[in-house]
Amino acid sequence: MGYDRFYFLKKAYGIYPGVLRPVSARCLEPHYAHRRARRGPVRAGLDVLVGLAFRAWIPGRAAKVQKRFGLSEAWRERAIEIARARFVDPNDLALFRIETPDQLDVYVRRFEDAALNKKINPLGWTSACVLADKVRFQARCAEAGLPHPRTVALVKDGRVTMKADPAGRDLVVKPADGEGGDGVVILERVVDAADLSARLPKARGAFVVQDRVQTHPALLGLALDALPTVRIVTMIDEVGAPEVVSATFRFASVAGARVDNMKAGGLISAVDLPVGALGLACKGYGGGDHAVHPVTGAAIIGRKLPDWAAAKGLVRRAHAETFADYALIGWDVALTLDGPVLIEANGKPGVLMPQRAARQGLASGRYGALLAYHLAIKP
C-alpha cells in the first residue's frame, strides 16, 4: 500500500493541550485528566517543553494567518491572547470564526483529532484498514449488497484487470489509497476496453475504475461539473448502534472542477440532521459565505437534500452490518435518482469541515458525548 509514512509519523505524538494544565473542550476534560495522571516524569517534562514551544510559536503563526486571510491588526492581537489562553492554533481561530475564548469549550482542536481518533479507531491506523483502500472497501460493499459505484476495472502498476464492459460509459479513475480527490481522472464516453486501457494514467500504483455516478436532478444547480457528496459521520453509541452525529454537504464552487473536495476550492454547507436542510455555505479554507451558488445563483440555505432519510438509513445499516469494526466512520454519499450511493468511507474523517461548515463545535452535541464515551471505555 502507498501509505504516507510521514503522515503517520507526525501523528504519532499526541500534543498535550497545555503546559501544565490541559485546556480543551469540556467533554474531553476526563480524558486529559486520565492522561495527565498516567504520564511519567519524562513525558510530563516533554509535554512542558512542547507546550512552551507552542506558546512561543503562536505570535508568528497569528501574523501569517492575518496576512493569509486579510485580517486586521486588532484580530491578530486578540488571536494571540485567545490562542495562548486556550492553547489553540490561530489558524483554527480564523477558520472556526472564534471571537471569544469561551466558544472553544465546544470545539475539538485539529491538532488533537489524530491522537483521539487513534485511540478510539485503532484499526483505521493500520494496513488492515479497508476504509483506506477503495478496492477493498468497494469489495466489502459488493459482498454486503450495499449500493456503490460499479467497478469496471482494477489497475496495478499498469496491468489492467477488466471487471465489466466499459463501452459507452463515462468512467472515473481513482488511486486506490488516494485522499481528498487527489489523482482523480474522468474518462468520458469510453468506446471499449482497448480505448479504456489507452486512456488510463501511466503512473505506477493501484487504481480503481468505476462508473461515473450521476447526481440527483434536484441538485443540478449546485453540482456543476462535479459529483456533490454529503459527508455523513456515524459513531457507535452507548448501546452499540451507529448514530448519525454530523453531516456536511460538499459541492463545487467553479465550473470545470471535477471533484467537490475542499482542496479543489469546493463549498461546504452544514446539513440539519432531522430534515436534511442546508445551511449557509462557505469554502473550507477561507473566503466569504454563500446563501446562493456563486455560479448558478441556485438557492443553498434551506434547500433540502433528496432522499435524506434513506441516506441516513444507508450509512447506519452499512456501519452496523458491514463495518462494525470501526467506532467512527465518515461516509461520502452521493444522492442519485436511484437513491443514495456509498462512494467512499473514512476512518479519520477530521474535524475541520464539520466545525467550519456548522459554525459550531462538534463537542457541543452527540459527537462530543460519544467521543468522550469511547475515550472512557478504551484502556
Tens-of-pLDDT digits for all 379 residues of the chain? 444 454 455 556 678 899 989 999 999 999 999 999 999 999 999 999 999 999 999 999 999 999 999 999 999 999 999 999 999 999 999 999 999 999 999 999 999 999 999 999 999 999 999 999 999 999 999 999 999 999 999 998 888 899 999 999 999 999 888 766 667 888 999 899 999 989 888 878 889 999 999 999 999 999 988 899 999 999 999 999 999 999 999 999 988 777 777 777 789 999 999 999 999 999 988 888 999 999 999 999 999 999 999 999 999 999 999 999 999 999 999 999 999 999 999 999 999 999 999 999 999 999 999 999 999 998 7
Looking up cell 467550519 gives 356
Cβ atoms of 80 and 59 within 8 Å: the answer is yes
How much of the chain is helix, strand and coil, in % rounded to 5? 40, 20, 35
Looking up cell 467533554 gives 27
Strand 169-175 relative to strand 185-190: parallel, antiparallel, unpaired? antiparallel
Question: Domain 126-133+214-377 class?
Answer: alpha beta
Domain boundaries, the chain: 5-107, 126-133+214-377, 150-211
For residues 150 and 167, give the distance between their C-alpha atoms in angstroms, rounded to a whole number.
13
Q: Report helix angle 110-120 to 366-377, nearest 10.
A: 50
Cβ atoms of 286 and 70 within 8 Å: the answer is no
Cβ atoms of 109 and 116 within 8 Å: the answer is no
- Is 287 strand, coil or helix? coil
Is it true that domain 150-211 has CATH number 1.10.3470?
no
For residues 162 and 158, give the distance between their C-alpha atoms in angstroms, rounded to a whole number.
12
What Å distances lie between residue 144 and 44, 51, 113, 314, CA to CA?
47, 47, 30, 12
